[in-house]
Structure 1
Amino acid sequence: MEKLANNSVKGIKKSILPYLKLLLPLLFITGQSFAQETSFEDGKRYILGGLTVTGLQSYNEQTVKTYTGLRVGQPITVPGDEISAVIKKLWSLELFSNVEMYYTKIEDDKIFLELNILERPTLSNVTVYGVKKRKVEDILTDTDLKKGKKITESLIANTKNYLQNKYKKQGYLNAKVNIATATDTSETNTQNMVINVNKGDKVKIRSIVFEGNEKLSNKRLRKSMKNTKKKKLYRFWKKSKYIEEDFNEDLSSLVDAYAERGYRDARILSDTFVKVNEKNIDLKIKVEEGDKYYFGDINFVGNSVYTDRQLSQVLGIRKGQTYNGVLLKKRIADDSRPDAEDLTNLYQNNGYLFSSINPVEVSAVNDTIDFEIRIIEGKETFLDHVTVVGNDKTNDHVIFRELRTRPGQKYSKDNIVRSIRELGQLGFFDAEQIVPDIQNPDPNAGTVDIQYSLVEAGSSQIELQGGFGGGGFIGTLGLSFSNFSLKNIFNGEAYKPVPMGDGQTFALRLQASRSFRVYSLNFSEPWLGGKKPVRFNLSLSRTQQFATGYDNRGRIDVQKDRGFSITGISAGLAKRVQWPDDFFTISHSLSYQRYDFNDYNLGLFNFGNGSSNSVNYTFGISRSSQGPSRIFPLTGSNFEITAKFTPPYSLFSSKDYKQLKTDINAATERLFEIGNNPSSIEEQLEFAQLSDDLERMEEERFKLLEFYKVKFKGDWYTRLVDKLVLRTNAEFGFLGAYNHDIGAVPFERFYVGGDGLGNFTLDGRDVIQLRGYENQALTPYVTNPITNSLQQDGGTIYNKYSLELRYPLTLKPSASIYALSFLEAGNAFNNFNEFNPFELKRSAGVGLRIFMPAFGLLGIDFGYGFDTDARPGSTGPSGWQTHFIIGQQF
C-alpha cells in the first residue's frame, strides 16, 4: 500500500525509482491544496475497483462509504475532482481531525483506494473549577458543553473566549480561563474536559477625570453617567465596576447631558482607560463643549388633522428656550414611555398609525436654531383582525372581553397599552410576556391586524400553613381557583385538575386548632351574564371559638360545650363604570351575620349567653389604574372608599335606650365599686345579680347591631428609575353609631400593628398592618367591669401612612421576587374625641416578597418600631420585629 503523497523525486534513491510511475498519477490529499512545488501530468482515468475505510472507532464503515458517494465500478480520474470533493465533504462534517486517501494497488485500469480517517474525540465529562457549584450548570448550558459533543479547537477557543468575556462584563477585567482535555479510558474515543476559571478581583474605578469641560462641572458630568461610578465607601446600591458596554452607553449620556443644556455640538474627543493596578483603573474623558444654543421659530409642515396651536401645546417648547435636543426628541416620540404625551402618540392614539414626524433644522443663525416639524399624516387606520395566541387554558371570550381593541375600530396605541394592562390584571398570564404584534399593515387600505401573544401563568393557589397561636397548633388548608369554570363542574373531561378557563373564582378555606374552627366558601363571577363587566360575589362562612382553661396539671383544657360562633352569608355586585373614567367601579353588597354565645364572654362586651344579629349593606367606590402587573405594579394607583351601614333599628323602636344606657352605666359603676373580691355575702350576691343584669342589658342593647363604618385606602405607584418603584399608601377608618345611647358596637373594630394577617377573625374586625410592632399591639385597651381587668377593645378609628421602595429581583412566571424597604406610621383610637392624626407610632425596615402561582404571596419583613406600643406595662421603643407574610394582598 502506498500513500498518495507529494511526488518530488529529489533525493530519492534508485531503489525506489521503479515505483515512481505508479506514484505519479496519484495525489496525496489531506483536504488542503496541492503542494506548490509538485507538477503533475493530467489525471488518468481509472475504474474504481474497491474502497476500504480504516481508522473508524464509532462510525459504521458502510455508512461512511455511502456518504462519500463513491461506488465500485464507477470511472474515476486520479488526480481529479471526485477525490477532492470527497475529502472536502468529509472535512465539512467537523467530525474528523484528519482525512487521508491512499491507493493500495492498481490492476490494469482498476484502482483500489483506502480512506483513512482519524475521528475527533467526543466529550465525556466536564469539570469546572473556580466558580460556585450552582453556576456550573448555567455555564454548561450557555457554552453547549454536553456529553457526546465533538471536541474541536474552535469549541475550546469559543468556550474560553465566552467565559472570559462573560466575567469581564461583570467587572472581572483580569479574568483568565484555562481549558485542558484528557483521555477517558472508560469509553471509546472520549475525553474529559477541565475548565479552570480564575476571575481575579473585580476591577474598580478609582477616579473619573474630565478634560475640556468648563460649562458643566465634573460632578454634573459624573452624575449623568448612570452605570459607571467611581468607588466610594458609602455607595452600595451602585457598584463601581468597569463594564465596557455600560461605559459606552454612559458616554452617550454625557453628550445628552450637554444637549439638554443647549450644547448641541458637544462631543467626546477621547476616552482613556488607565490601569493603576490589578484592582483599580482610572478613566480619563476629554470633551469638546461647543457653544450654547437656543430654540428659534418652530413651524409645523404637513399637518391637517391638528392645528399648529394644538401641536405646539403638546410639543411644549417655546421660542427663546435653551436648546434641549433630548427634550425635543421625547416630545416628538418618547420611547421610554408607551403612554407618553408626545406628538407621535397624539397621532397614533387617534388612528394615524402610518404617520411620521421628523424635526428638521432649517437654519442656525448665531446661537438660534429654527426648526420645521415635518409631518406625514398618512391614511386613517382601522383594525381588521384582532387575535390571541398562547391561551392554552383560558377561553377566548375571557380575553376578548378585556380587550380595548376591536375589529373595525380606529387604531389607538393607547387602547393597546390599556389592553395589555387589563390582561395583566387578570392574573392568568405572565404580564411581562404579553406582546401585541402589529401584523399586515396596509398603508394604502388603512388597515392593520393585531395579535396578542400570551403566556399562561398559574392561576390556582394552595394555602397550607402551620403555626402556634391561641394556645395550640393552628393549621390552615386553602384552595383557590382564580380561573374557574362553573358551567363545566359536571363535565368530567374538564377536570385538569378542576374545570378551568372562564375567569371565575372559587375558593375553599379551612382553619382549625384545638380551640377554634373557621370554614369559608367564596364564588365570584366577573362578568355576570357574559355581556357587561358586572362582578357577582357570593360567600359563606362559619366560625367557632371554644372556651379554654387549664386542668389540674396546668395544661390547656378546651371546653367545647362553651363557646362563640359566627354564621355569615354575603352577596355582592360590582360594576365597572365609564364616568369619571373607565377605571372606576361601583360596588354593592348585602350581608348577614349571626353571633351566638353559649356561656362564653368574648371580652368586648358584657354578655356571655344569647345572640346578636347584623344585617348590613356596603356601598363602595374604587378606582384601579395600577399596572401592568397586579403582582408588581410599576405605575398607576388604586384607591377605595367603602361605607357599611345597618338599618337604624333604634329609630323605629319604642325601647328606651337612654334609660337602658343609664342602667348599664349604674350597674357598671357599682361593679367597679365592689370589685373582684366582695367583702360580704350581701356584696357577693349583689355582684352576681348585677353581673347577670348587666349581661341581660348588654344582650338587649346589641340584639340587633346598628352602626356605620367608613373606610378609605389609597395606593399610588411611582416609577422612579428603571423598575425601582415607590409605593405611597394612606388609610383611614371610622366606626360610628347612629344612637349615642347605644354607642359603638363591639364588633367591626380596628386592630392595628404587626403583619396585618387576620389569622382567624371572630368579630368582623379589620386587622391593619403596621410593621415594627407585635400583632395588634397598637390597639387600645379598656377595663372590663366584671373581671376588673384590662382587655383589648379594638379601635373605632385609625389612620396609617406608609412609603415603600420596591425593586424586582426577577419577574419570571415561575416566581416573582422583589425586595423592599419601608417607612410606616399609624395608630388606633377609642373614639373620635381621642383621635389625633399626628399622634402616630413610627417604624422602618426592609423585606422580601416571593409570589409563586401555586402558593400565592410569601414574604418576610424586618421592622423597627420607634415608639412604645399600647400594651399595659410597655416602656421604650418596640424595637426589632420579624413578620412573616403569607397570602397578603400585593
Structure 2
Amino acid sequence: MEKQVNNLANNLLLKTYIKSLLTVFIFITSFVVTAQKSDFNQGKKYILEEVKVTGNTNFNPSTVISFSRLKIGEEIVIPGEQISNAIKKLWDSNLFSSIDVYLAKTDGEKAYLEINLVDLPELNKVTIKGVKKGKIDGLITENDLSKGTKVTENLVTTTRNYISNKYKKQGFLNAKTVVTTKELSTDSIEKARVDMLVFIDKGQKVKIANISFNGNEKVSDKKLRKSMKNTKQKNLFRILKRSKYIKEDYKEDLVSLIDTYKENGYRDARIIGDSIVYKNDKTISLLIDLEEGEQYKFGKIKFVGNAVFTDQQLHSILKIQEGSTYNGVELRKRIADESKPDAVDITNLYQDNGYLFSTINPVETSAEGNIIDMEIRISEGKPAYFNNVSVSGNDKTNDHVVYRELRTKPGTLYRKSDVIRTIRELGQLGFFDAQQLTPNMKNFNTQDGTVDIDYEVVERGSSQIELQGGYGGGGFIGTLGLSFNNFAIKDLFNKEAYKPIPSGDGQSLALRLQASQFFQTYSFSFSEPWLGGKRPVQLSTSISHTRQFLFDPQTRRADKDRRFNITGVSIGIAKRLKVPDDYFTLSQSIGIQHYNLKNYNTGLFTFGDGYSNNLSYTIGLSRNNLSVDPIYPTGGSSFAITGKLSLPYSLFNNVDYEGLKNERDALDPTNADDLTRIGEIDQERFNWLEFYKVKLKGDWYTRIWDKLVIKSGLEFGFLGAYNQDRGVIPFERFFLGGDGLGNFALDGREIIQLRGYPNQALSSQDGGSIYNKFSMELRYPITLGAQAKIYGLAFAEAGASFDNFRDYDPFNLNRSAGVGLRIFMPAFGLLGIDFGYGFDALPGQTQRNGQEIHFIIGQQF
C-alpha cells in the first residue's frame, strides 16, 4: 500500500514538473514568434485601439477587459507596466490556468492586443478513498471541495497537506494523501470540469514506545517525562493522555522540559539534540540529548525605577528570598503570570493601579560563584485613563443593558481588575457567548495617558422553550414552558418589536403549564434586574396555582370532587451590596400560599376538608463570584444562606396548643369519631402555618488542568417550630433522592437531588425536617460552542434526611457515584443523563440500591 501511494505521489510530481516546463517553453516561444512577426519599436508609446479576448473561456470579453484595467484609447508602452499589471490582475483573480497577452499588430500609432485565456476547470465530483463513509462529508466541507469550486494548484496542495496533517495530529504519523484530477469532456457551454480523487493512507497509529534522555544526571528520567504534559510513552495505566506523537505538542513539551530545569536552578540547561527512532510501523522511540549545566541560586534582588511602590511592597509580591534555588519560571510568573489574568504579580499590581504603560524587565547583573544578582528595572510611565469605552456585537440586547454592567467608564483610571470583572459580569448575564467575550484595547496614547477599549460580544439565544410529554403518576403528563430571559416589557404593545418577542431589556418572563388527569399546575413569573435603571436592585414577582385530585380505584381515573388546591403569590427585592464586597447580594421576599382541601383524606393530612394559609418572609444572603461562563464555570464559588419564617401566631392568638396536643395524644385514630376530632384539632393547629426554615448551600469550582474542573458542594436544611406543642408543620418539607426534579410542589416541598437512588426515596412519606448533602463532580467539556455546550462528568454524592433533630447524624449518609453527560442548547436549556450507583440500602431495606438512570431537564448547572 505504501509503495502504491509513493508511486502515485512521484507520478503527480513528475506531471506537475513537466507541465511547468511546457508552460515556460510555450511562453518563451510565443514571445519570440510574436516579436518576429510584429513590426514595432520596443519602448514606444502607442494608442490602444482594440483588445480581443480569445481562448477557452466563458467570461464575457468586456468583463475581462474591464477587470484587466486596459482602456481603449489610452496611451500604453509596449512592453510596459500597464500590460504587466493587466496580467498580474488577471492571475490574482484565480480564475484562469493560462494567460497570454499578444501584440496582434500595429497600425502607425495604434496597437492591437489579444488576451488569450484558458479558464480554470471547475470541480465536478470528489471521490475520497481510504476513510470511513461517515468522515467523507466532513473532509469535503473542511477543504471546500463543493461542486463548482475552481480547481487550482493551491487547492490541490492545501487539500493534500490539510488531510495529511489532520491525521498526523491524531497519531497517524505516517499518513499520506494523494490528490489527482481527471479532465472531463467539455459540456454544451464549453466549461472545463474535472473529477478529483483523494486517496488517503492513514497507515498505522504510531505510539511512543519509549522516551529516553542522555546527559541528565541531576534530574531523573521520571521527572523529565512527567514535565512533558502532552507527549507520553506507552503505559497501560494511563487513561487521560495517550502515547501518540504529535509534532506541535512535542515541540511545546521540549520547552516544558527545559522549564523543569529552570525551576530547579539549572538556568543554562539546553537540548543539544533530539531524534525519532522508528522501531516499526506502529511504534517509535524519542531520544533527547541534554546539557544540564550548573545549579544556580538567587543572590541580591534590587528594584530600580520604582516610585509608586516601595521595595518592601514589591518584595512582598515577588516572594523570592536571597539564597533560594534559582527558579526562572517562578520569577517570570511573579513578574507577569500570563496563564492567569488576575494573578498576584508585579505587572498586575501596577496595572490595577492605572499604570497600563509600565514595563518590568528582570536583568542579571552578576552570576559569580553560581549566585545570580538581579535588578528588576521598572519604567512606570503615566497613569492611563479610559478615553472611549464602547461595546460592539450586541444586535439584540439594548445598549443600556450592557453599559450598566461595565466597570470601566470614560475618564476613569485604567484598572485591569475592572476589565476582568466587566467580562465576568457580561458573561453572567447569559445573553452573550461567554467563550467569545473579547476586550479590545486600542488607541494607546502614552503622551496623553489614554486608551480606548471596545468590548466585543457575540449574542446567543437566551430564551428557552420546554415542550415535553411523558407517562408518570398514573397517566400522561404534558408540559409547556416558555422562558424569555432577555425580555422587554416596555415593548409589549409595540407590534414592530415582536421578532418574535419583545427583547433586549434584560428582563425575565416565564410561563409554565403542566397537566395530567391527576394534577394541573400554572405559574407565571417576572423579574426586572435593575429596578429604576440606576442600581442593580432586582424586583421579582410570581403567581402560581396547582390543583391535585385523588385517584378513584373504581373508575381508575381522577376524582374531581376530591381535590387539593394551592394558590400562591410572592414579591421580592434583591440588592447587590458593596460590603464586604460587591459579590454579595441581600434578598428579601414576602409570599402567601393558600391551601384548600375538599374531601382530600390522605396519610399526609389528618383533615380532609379545610384550609391552611402560609404567610412567610424570606431573607437571604448570597455571594457569587463564578468565572465568566455561567454554564461551565472554571473557577470561583457560589454561596447562599436563607431564612424563611412565619409570624409566631401562638404568641398572640390565645389558643391552648398544649391542651390540644394532650387531647390529640389521648384520641384513638382507629376510632371514626376520634379520627374526626383529630382532623378538627389539626385544622386548628395548621390554619395559619407557623414555622422557621434555614437553608445553606455552597458550591466551589477549581480548575485542575486545562478545562478539567472539579466542583465541590454542600447543602443543609432545617425546618423548625416556634412552639413544640404546635409541632412541625406538614408543609415545606425536604424530600431527598433521585434527579432533583419535581412534577409539582403539592405542599411547598423541596426536592433535593441525590443520584443513584429513586426519586424522593431517602425521606419518609411525609418528608424530612432536616437534611444534609455533600457532593463532588469532575467535569470536562467536549465543546463550549455558541450553539451547544457539552460536557461530561463523574460524580460522588452523599446525603441523608431525618424526621427530627433528635435523630440527626451528619455522618450517617447514603452514598452514590456515577457518570453523566450535559448538553446545553440556548433554545431548550439544559439536558442530561446520569448513570448512578447507590452504595447503601433504601430505608427499610437491607440490600444496596444499585444502578439508577436519571434524565435531567432544565436543572441548575
Change (3 A) 1:180 1:599: same
Partner of 2:510: 507
Q: Give deviations 1:733-783, integer Å, cap 9, x for gaps.
A: 000011111111001111000001122111111110001111111112xxx
CA contact (8 A) 2:407 2:421 kept: yes
The alignment status of 1:388 with 2:372, answered yes or no, reads no
Deviation at 1:103, TM superposition (A): 9.6
Does the C-alpha gap of structure 1 residues 856 and 64 become closer, same or farther in structure 2, counting only changes over 3 Å? closer
Q: Distance in 2 between the 1:328 and 1:359 partners? A: 9
Q: Deviations over 1:262-289 (max 9, x none)?
A: 1111111111111111111111111111
Q: Which amino acid counterpart does residue 692 of structure 1 have in structure 2? A: T
**8 Å contact kept, 2:40–2:106:** no
Give 1:532's aligned residue.
535
> Residue 495 of structure 1: CA displacement?
1.6
Q: Which residue of 2 aligns with 1:850?
A: 823
Question: Any conservation in 2 of the 1:143–1:159 contact (CA below 8 Å)?
Answer: yes
| Pairwise CA distance, 1:254 | 0.4
- Pairwise CA distance, 1:252: 0.3
Structure 2 residue aligned with 1:192, among 191, 195, 212? Answer: 195
Whether the 8 Å CA contact 2:34–2:102 is kept in 1: the answer is no
Q: Tell me what 1:5 maps to.
A: none
Verify the 8 A CA contact 2:694 2:717 in the aligned structure 1: yes
Q: Counterpart of 1:699 in structure 2: which amino acid?
A: Q
Normalised by the size of structure 2, how large is the TM-score? 0.91
How far apart in 2 are the matches of 1:429 and 1:66? 45
Alpha-carbon distance change, 77 to 769 in structure 1, aligned in 2, over 3 angstroms? closer
Segments of structure 1 that go 5 or more residues without pairing to the other structure are 1-27, 675-686, 781-791
In structure 2, what residue type is equivalent to 1:767? I
In 1, Cα distance between the equivalents of 2:231 and 2:749?
A: 51
Query: In the alignment, what sits opposite 2:701?
Result: 717
Q: Deviations over 1:80-106 (max 9, x none)?
A: 999888777766655444456889999
Q: One-letter code of the match for 1:745?
A: I
Q: Does 1:478 align with 2:481?
A: yes
1:212 maps to: 215
Q: What whole-Å deviation, never above 9, does each CA across 1:557-592 have from its counterpart, x for those lacking one? A: 111111101111111111111111111111111111
> How big is the shift at 1:299?
0.8
Q: Deviations over 1:498-521 (max 9, x none)?
A: 211111111111010010000111
Tell me the distance in 2 between the aligned counterparts of 1:51 and 1:314: 74
Change in CA separation of 1:267 and 1:704 when aligned onto 2, cut-off 3 Å: same
Cα deviation 1:64-121 (Å, max 9, x = unaligned): 5676788999999999999888777766655444456889999999999876654432
Q: Secondary structure at the match of 2:350?
A: helix
> Which residue is 2:776 aligned to?
803
Contact kept in structure 2, 1:713 and 1:730, CA below 8 Å = yes
- Aligned to 1:44, the other structure's residue is in SS state coil
2:673: which partner in 1? 689
**Matching residue within 410, 415, 423 for 2:413:** 410
Measure the CA separation in 2 of the matches of 1:72 and 1:797. Answer: 93
Q: How does 1:466-615 map to 2 (within 5 A)?
A: 466-551=469-554, 556-615=556-615
Give the 3 Å change call, closer, same or farther, for CA 350–77 of structure 1 in structure 2.
closer
CA distance in 2 between partners of 1:440 and 1:106 (Å): 56
Measure how far apart 1:610 and its partner are: 0.4
Among all aligned residue pairs of Structure 1 and Structure 2, give the percentage whose two residues are the same amino acid: 56
Q: Helix, strand or coil: the match of 1:514? A: coil
Deviations 1:456-489 (A, max 9, x none): 1111111112111111111111111111112221
Q: Work out the CA distance in 1 between the residues paired with 2:537 and 2:105.
A: 91
Q: Distance in 2 between matches of 1:830 and 1:167?
A: 60
Counterpart AA for 1:863: G
Correspondence list, 1:354-369, <5 A: 354-369=357-372
Q: Does 2:262 match 1:259?
A: yes
Over 3 Å counting, the alpha-carbon distance change for 1:85 and 1:506 in structure 2 is closer
For residues 109-508 of structure 1, the aligned pairs below 5 Å read: 117-184=117-184, 187=187, 188-508=191-511
> 1:511 & 1:736 partners in 2: Cα distance?
31
Pair 1:708-2:689 in alignment: no
Describe the shift of the 1:180–1:690 C-alpha distance in structure 2 as closer, same or farther (beyond 3 A): same
Task: Decide which moves more: 855-864 or 107-116.
Answer: 107-116
- 1:700 is displaced (CA, Å) by 1.2
Secondary structure of the structure 1 residue equivalent to 2:477: strand
What residue is the counterpart of 2:17 in the other structure?
none
In the other structure, the counterpart of 1:881 is 852
Q: Deviations over 1:688-709 (max 9, x none)?
A: 1112111111111111110110
Tell me, in whole angstroms, the C-alpha distance in 2 between the residues paired with 1:163 and 1:296: 52
1:835 aligns with 2:808: yes
Higher-Rg member (1/2): 1
CA–CA distance in 1 between the matches of 2:770 and 2:791?
A: 32
Tell me how far apart the structure 2 counterparts of residues 697 and 433 of structure 1 sit (CA, whole Å). 62
| 1:629 match | 629
Flag the 1:167–1:612 CA change in 2: closer, same or farther, 3 A.
same
Q: Any stretches of 5+ residues in structure 2 without a counterpart?
A: 1-22
SS for the counterpart of 1:45 is: coil
CA–CA distance in structure 2, aligned partners of residues 740 and 121 of structure 1 = 90
Deviations 1:654-674 (A, max 9, x none): 21111211122222xx33xx5
Change in Cα spacing, 1:50 to 1:307, as seen in structure 2 (3 Å) is closer
- The structure-2 alpha-carbon separation of the partners of 1:840 and 1:36, relative to structure 1 and needing over 3 Å to count, comes to same
Looking at structure 2, the residues matched to 468 and 200 of structure 1 have their Cα atoms a distance apart, in angstroms, of: 51
1:794 aligns with 2:794: no
What amino acid sits opposite 1:581 in the alignment? D
* TM-superposition CA deviations, 1:579-609 (whole Å, max 9, x none): 1111111111111111111011242231111
Partner of 1:23: none
Tell me what 1:823 maps to.
Answer: 796
CA-CA distance at 1:335 after TM superposition: 0.4
- Counterpart residue type for residue 122 of structure 2: T
Provide closer, same or farther for how the CA distance between residues 643 and 164 of structure 1 changes in structure 2, counting only shifts above 3 A.
same
For the Cα contact (< 8 Å) 1:592–1:613, is it kept in 2? Answer: yes
> How far apart, CA to CA, are the structure 1 residues paired with 2:435 and 2:101?
58
Contact 1:44 1:78 in 2 (8 A): no
Q: 1:235 to 1:81 in 2, by over 3 A?
A: closer
Partner of 1:640: 640
- When residues 812 and 35 of structure 1 are mapped into structure 2, their CA distance, relative to the original with a 3 A threshold, is closer
Q: CA deviation at 1:528?
A: 1.2
Is the 8 Å Cα contact of residues 45 and 75 (structure 1) preserved in structure 2? no
Q: Any conservation in 1 of the 2:303–2:378 contact (CA below 8 Å)?
A: yes
Alpha-carbon distance in structure 2 between the residues aligned to 1:107 and 1:535: 86
| Secondary structure at 1:490 match in 2 | coil
Corresponding residue of 1:682? none
Q: From 40, 47, 62, give the equivalent of 1:45.
A: 40
Q: Is the 8 A contact 2:523 2:545 kept in 1?
A: yes
Q: 1:540 to 1:290 in 2, by over 3 A?
A: same
The 8 Å contact of residues 30 and 101 in structure 1, kept in 2 or not, is answered as no
- Aligned amino acid, residue 628 of structure 1: V
1:813 equivalent in structure 2: 786
**Cα RMSD for the two superposed structures:** 2.8
8 A contact 1:585–1:622 mirrored in 2: yes
SS in 2 for 1:643: strand
Task: Return closer, same or farther for 1:30/1:297 CA change in 2, 3 Å cut-off.
Answer: same
Do the aligned residues in 2 keep the contact of 1:647 with 1:706 (CA within 8 Å)? yes
Q: Distance in 2 between matches of 1:456 and 1:510?
A: 28
Decide whether the 8 Å contact of 1:548 with 1:559 is kept in 2: yes
Scaled by the length of structure 1, the TM-score of the pair is 0.88
Structure 2 partner of 1:21? none
Deviations 1:196-232 (A, max 9, x none): 2222222111111111111111111111000101122
The 2-side partners of 1:439 and 1:78 are apart by 48
